[in-house]
C-alpha cells in the first residue's frame, strides 16, 4: 500500500517519469476498479430501466383497471330530452347540465343521445349536420293540430354532435321552432302563446323514438326527461303500457326548477288531444288547468332534483307550488343529486375567455382579470376596492329585489358591482337607475354573454347569489373554482355547496364563502359587509380563496349517482302503478 502511494506521488511530481513495478500494479487495479464500476453502472442502468418499466406497467395496469371498472359498470342506452343544450340554446343552468351530464355519462361508456328542438341558434352553432329520420305526425290523437303549414304531416330529425365530445345530438326541425327569440319567449321577452304545442311536439317525438317507432335503428333502455317541457313523455309512455300492454323504457324525471310547471288551460288540453283519462287531479289536471310537470312527477319511475336540500324543500308548502302532497307521497322514489360542472370548460388555469390564466400557485394573475373587468364596464381601476359580480336571470327568485332594497347602503361601502343578466323589465329598469346614479360603482349589462360571464367569474373578488330558492345553482360552483368568494342565501344547492366563513369554520380551514339565512335585504347587506371586512385581511382572504379552489365539483361522482338512479328506475319499471295518488291540495 505504501509503495502504491509513493508511486502516485512520484507520478504527479514527474509526469514524464517511467512507471515502475508498483505503478503497473496500481494501473491494473485501477482498470479492475474501473471495470467493476462500469459493470456496476450498467447494472444500475439496467435496474433503473426495469424499475421504470415496472412503474410504467403499474401505471398502465392502473389505467386499464380504471377503464375495466368503467367498462364493467352497467351500460345503458339513454334518451336524454331537454329544451336547452349549451352551446346550442341556453337560458340558465338547464342548458349547462344538459351538456355536462351526458358528456360525463358518455365517458362512463353509456350510449346516450340528446333530443332537443332545432332552434335557429342551434342550427347556426352546430357542425356537420345531417338528416337521419322523418317522424310522421298522426292524423288524430296527440299532439293534435299543431298549427303547422297545411300538408305538413311529418318533422325531420337532424343529427350533430355535442362540441368536444362523441355525444350524438338529435334536433327536431319544425316551423314551431324556426323563429327569432329564445326557447320560451319572443324578442320582447313575452312567452310564446303556443308553447303548449311547441313542447307537445318535443314529447311526441321523444315517445316515438323511445318506443322504437323511428328509422334511427336505436331504442333506449331509459328516457331521462328534464323540467316541465318534457314532462308529458313519462305520461305518454305509461299509456303505451296501460292501454296497449307494450314494454316501454324506464323513465327518470329531473326537476331543475319546480317554480316552472308548464300550466295550460282545459281548452289547450283538448286541442292537444291528450287521452281524456288523464284529466283528473291524480294525473294531469291542476286547479281546472293541466300541468306538463305533473306528467313527469306522477308517471316517472324515478324523480330527482339537482340537490339533496332542494329535494327536501319541494316537499313543503313553501317550495312545492301546490304539488307538495304528491311529492311527499312519492318521496320513496324522490331523491336529490347535486349538479357538477364541466371542469375543463370552467378552469381558470386554461380558460381562453379570460384575460390571464391563473391557478392556486399564480393567484396574483387574478388581478389582471379584475382590471380587464373594470375596463370592460368602464369602472375606475381600483385594486383595493371589493369587486362584486353577479350573473343571473334578473327575477325575484334570484333575490334581485333584496339587492335593490339595500343598494344605497351597499354602495356606501368601498365596493364596485357588475351585473350581467336579463328578466323582469321592472327590475332591469331599477338596476339601471342605480347605475346612472353611481356610474363609478355599479354597471349593468342586460342580456347574456358567455365570454363575459367567464370574465366576471375570473375578475370579481366575490359573487352575489341572494336567491330566494335555488334548486342547485352553478355559479357558486364556478366562483369556488375561480377563487371568487360566493355570497349566498342558505337554500337548496347553495346550502349544500358553500361553507360559511364563521370563526369556527375559518379556524378549521373549511370556510369557502359567506352564507346568510333570512330572505331580507338587511341580511344580504350584513353578508356583503362581512365579506368586505374579510377582504381587508389579505392572508385570511387568500385562505378562503384557496380552500374554495380545492373543492371537487366535477360530474364524475354525480354521474355515478345517476347510473344508480337509472338502475333503480329500471327495477321499478315493471311495478304497475294503480293510479292511487294523493289529492293535490287546493
Q: Is the pLDDT of residue 188 over 90?
A: no
Q: Is the pLDDT of residue 154 over 90?
A: yes
Cell 332537443, located at residue:
116
Q: Is the residue at 90 inside a domain?
A: yes
Q: Is the pLDDT of residue 48 over 90?
A: no
Does residue 419 share a domain with residue 297?
no
CA angle 168, 174, 177 (to 5 degrees): 90
| pLDDT at residue 412, as a whole number | 97
* Cβ(553)–Cβ(481) below 8 Å: yes
| pLDDT at residue 85, as a whole number | 97
- Whole-number Å distance between alpha carbons of 86 and 427: 26
| pLDDT at residue 18, as a whole number | 36
Q: Which residue has the higher pLDDT, 243 or 80?
A: 80
Structural domains in the chain (count): 2
Least confident window among 176-180, 527-531, 572-576: 572-576
Confidence of residue 387 (pLDDT cuts 50, 70, 90): very high
- Whole-number Å distance between alpha carbons of 483 and 546: 7
Does residue 395 share a domain with residue 299?
no
Does residue 229 share a domain with residue 113?
yes
Angle between helix 450-459 and 366-376 (nearest 10): 130
- The pLDDT of 25-37, averaged and rounded, is 47
- The pLDDT of 81-89, averaged and rounded, is 96
* Cβ(267)–Cβ(299) below 8 Å: no
- The pLDDT of 382-407, averaged and rounded, is 96
Q: Is the residue at 34 inside a domain?
A: no
Give Cβ neighbours of residue 84 (< 8 Å, ≥ 6 apart).
90, 91, 92, 94, 95, 98, 116, 183
Q: Is the pLDDT of residue 58 over 60?
A: no
Q: Is the pLDDT of residue 429 over 80?
A: yes
Percent of the chain with pLDDT over 90: 81
Does residue 130 share a domain with residue 195?
yes
Q: Is the pLDDT of residue 41 over 90?
A: no
Going by C-alpha positions, the residue among 263, 256, 297 that lies closest to residue 470 is 256
Confidence of residue 1 (pLDDT cuts 50, 70, 90): very low
Q: Is the residue at 411 inside a domain?
A: yes
| pLDDT at residue 301, as a whole number | 97
Q: Is the residue at 472 inside a domain?
A: yes
| pLDDT at residue 10, as a whole number | 36
Q: Is the residue at 40 inside a domain?
A: no
| pLDDT at residue 60, as a whole number | 55
Chain mean pLDDT for the chain: 89
Percent of the chain with pLDDT over 70: 85
Confidence of residue 203 (pLDDT cuts 50, 70, 90): very high
Predicted confidence (pLDDT) per residue in 317-343, tens digit:
999 999 999 999 999 999 999 999 989
Angle between helix 21-72 and 2-13 (nearest 10): 100
Does residue 293 share a domain with residue 164?
yes
Confidence of residue 187 (pLDDT cuts 50, 70, 90): confident
| pLDDT at residue 245, as a whole number | 86
Torsion of CA 453, 481, 70, 53, to 10 degrees: 120
- The pLDDT of 226-231, averaged and rounded, is 98
Does residue 566 share a domain with residue 436?
no
| pLDDT at residue 583, as a whole number | 44
Cell 310537470, located at residue:
293
8, 212, 528 from 11: Cα distances, Å: 5, 95, 83
Least confident window among 423-427, 429-433, 524-528: 423-427
Verify cis geometry, omega within 30 degrees of 0, for the bond prior to 472: no
Does residue 485 share a domain with residue 448?
yes
- Whole-number Å distance between alpha carbons of 522 and 530: 12
Q: Is the residue at 15 inside a domain?
A: no
* Cβ(135)–Cβ(171) below 8 Å: no
Does residue 398 share a domain with residue 302?
no
Give Cβ neighbours of residue 409 (< 8 Å, ≥ 6 apart).
525
- Classified as helix, coil or strand, 173 is strand
Does residue 265 share a domain with residue 220?
yes
Q: Is the residue at 48 inside a domain?
A: no
Q: Is the pLDDT of residue 283 over 50?
A: yes
CA angle 37, 40, 43 (to 5 degrees): 150
| pLDDT at residue 228, as a whole number | 98
CATH number of 165's domain: 3.40.50.2000
Confidence of residue 585 (pLDDT cuts 50, 70, 90): very low
Q: Which residue has the higher pLDDT, 28 or 505?
A: 505
| pLDDT at residue 57, as a whole number | 53
- Whole-number Å distance between alpha carbons of 579 and 586: 19
| pLDDT at residue 576, as a whole number | 56
Least confident window among 111-115, 151-155, 223-227: 151-155
Q: Is the pLDDT of residue 75 over 80?
A: yes
Least confident window among 20-24, 222-226, 409-413, 576-580: 20-24
DSSP assigned state of 482: T
Does residue 293 share a domain with residue 241?
yes
Does residue 289 share a domain with residue 175?
yes
Q: Is the pLDDT of residue 104 over 60?
A: yes
- Whole-number Å distance between alpha carbons of 57 and 514: 47
Beta bridge partners of 485: 462
Q: Is the pLDDT of residue 182 over 60?
A: yes
Q: Is the residue at 227 inside a domain?
A: yes
Range of the domain at 535: 360-552
| pLDDT at residue 20, as a whole number | 43
- Whole-number Å distance between alpha carbons of 120 and 470: 30
Confidence of residue 56 (pLDDT cuts 50, 70, 90): low
Does residue 417 share a domain with residue 292?
no
Q: Is the pLDDT of residue 13 over 60?
A: no
Confidence of residue 2 (pLDDT cuts 50, 70, 90): very low
Amino acid at each position: 500500500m505504501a509503495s502504491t502511494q509513493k508511486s502516485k506521488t512520484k507520478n504527479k511530481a514527474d509526469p514524464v517519469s517511467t512507471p515502475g513495478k508498483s505503478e503497473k500494479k496500481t494501473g491494473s487495479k485501477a482498470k479492475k476498479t474501473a471495470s467493476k464500476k462500469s459493470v456496476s453502472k450498467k447494472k444500475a442502468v439496467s435496474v433503473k430501466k426495469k424499475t421504470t418499466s415496472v412503474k410504467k406497467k403499474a401505471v398502465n395496469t392502473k389505467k386499464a383497471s380504471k377503464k375495466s371498472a368503467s367498462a364493467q359498470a352497467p351500460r345503458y342506452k339513454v334518451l336524454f330530452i331537454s329544451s336547452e343544450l349549451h352551446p346550442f340554446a341556453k337560458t340558465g343552468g338547464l342548458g349547462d347540465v344538459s351538456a355536462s351530464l351526458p358528456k360525463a355519462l358518455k365517458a362512463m361508456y353509456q350510449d346516450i343521445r340528446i333530443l332537443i328542438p332545432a332552434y335557429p341558434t342551434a342550427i347556426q352553432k352546430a357542425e356537420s349536420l345531417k338528416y337521419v329520420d322523418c317522424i310522421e305526425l298522426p292524423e288524430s290523437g296527440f299532439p293534435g293540430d299543431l298549427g303547422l303549414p297545411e300538408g305538413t304531416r311529418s318533422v325531420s330529425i337532424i343529427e350533430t354532435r355535442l362540441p368536444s365530445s362523441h355525444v350524438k345530438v338529435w334536433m327536431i326541425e319544425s316551423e314551431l321552432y324556426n323563429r327569432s327569440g329564445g326557447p320560451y319567449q319572443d324578442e320582447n321577452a313575452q312567452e310564446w302563446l303556443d308553447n303548449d304545442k311547441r313542447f307537445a311536439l318535443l314529447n311526441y317525438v321523444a315517445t316515438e323514438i323511445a318506443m322504437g317507432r323511428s328509422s334511427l335503428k336505436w331504442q333506449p333502455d331509459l328516457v331521462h326527461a328534464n323540467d316541465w317541457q318534457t314532462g308529458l313523455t313519462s305520461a305518454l309512455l305509461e299509456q303505451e303500457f296501460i292501454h296497449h300492454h307494450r314494454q316501454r323504457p324506464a323513465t327518470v324525471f329531473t326537476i331543475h326548477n319546480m317554480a316552472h310547471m308548464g300550466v295550460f288551460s282545459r281548452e289547450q288540453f283538448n286541442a292537444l288531444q291528450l287521452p281524456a283519462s288523464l284529466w283528473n287531479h291524480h294525473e294531469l289536471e291542476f286547479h281546472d288547468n293541466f300541468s306538463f310537470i305533473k306528467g313527469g312527477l306522477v308517471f316517472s319511475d324515478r324523480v330527482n332534483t339537482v340537490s339533496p336540500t332542494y329535494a327536501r324543500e319541494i316537499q313543503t308548502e313553501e317550495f312545492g307550488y301546490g304539488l307538495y302532497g304528491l311529492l311527499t307521497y312519492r318521496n320513496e322514489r324522490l331523491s336529490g343529486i347535486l349538479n357538477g360542472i364541466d371542469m375543463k370548460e370552467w378552469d381558470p388555469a386554461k380558460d381562453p375567455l379570460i384575460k390571464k390564466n391563473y391557478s392556486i400557485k399564480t393567484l396574483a394573475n387574478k388581478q389582471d382579470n379584475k382590471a380587464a373587468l373594470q375596463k370592460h364596464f368602464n369602472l375606475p381601476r381600483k385594486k383595493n376596492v371589493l369587486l362584486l359580480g353577479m350573473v343571473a336571470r334578473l327575477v325575484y327568485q334570484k333575490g334581485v329585489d333584496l339587492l335593490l332594497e339595500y343598494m344605497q347602503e351597499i354602495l356606501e361601502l368601498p365596493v364596485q358591482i357588475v351585473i350581467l343578466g336579463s328578466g323582469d323589465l321592472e327590475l332591469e329598469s331599477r338596476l339601471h337607475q342605480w347605475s346612472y346614479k353611481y356610474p363609478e360603482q355599479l354597471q349593468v349589462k342586460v342580456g347574456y354573454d358567455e365570454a363575459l360571464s367567464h370574465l366576471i367569474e375570473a375578475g370579481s373578488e366575490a359573487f352575489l347569489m341572494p336567491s330566494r330558492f335555488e334548486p342547485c345553482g352553478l355559479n357558486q360552483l364556478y366562483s369556488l373554482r375561480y377563487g371568487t368568494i360566493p355570497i349566498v342565501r342558505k337554500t337548496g344547492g347553495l346550502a349544500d355547496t358553500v361553507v360559511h366563513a364563521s370563526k369556527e369554520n375559518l379556524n378549521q380551514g373549511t370556510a369557502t364563502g359567506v352564507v346568510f339565512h333570512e330572505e331580507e335585504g338587511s341580511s344580504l347587506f350584513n353578508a356583503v359587509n362581512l365579506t368586505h371586512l374579510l377582504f381587508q385581511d389579505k392572508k385570511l382572504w387568500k385562505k378562503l380563496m384557496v380552500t374554495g379552489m380545492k373543492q371537487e365539483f366535477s360530474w364524475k361522482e354525480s354521474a355515478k349517482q345517476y347510473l344508480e338512479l337509472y338502475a333503480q328506475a329500471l327495477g321499478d319499471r315493471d311495478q304497475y302503478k294503480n293510479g292511487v295518488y294523493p289529492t293535490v291540495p287546493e
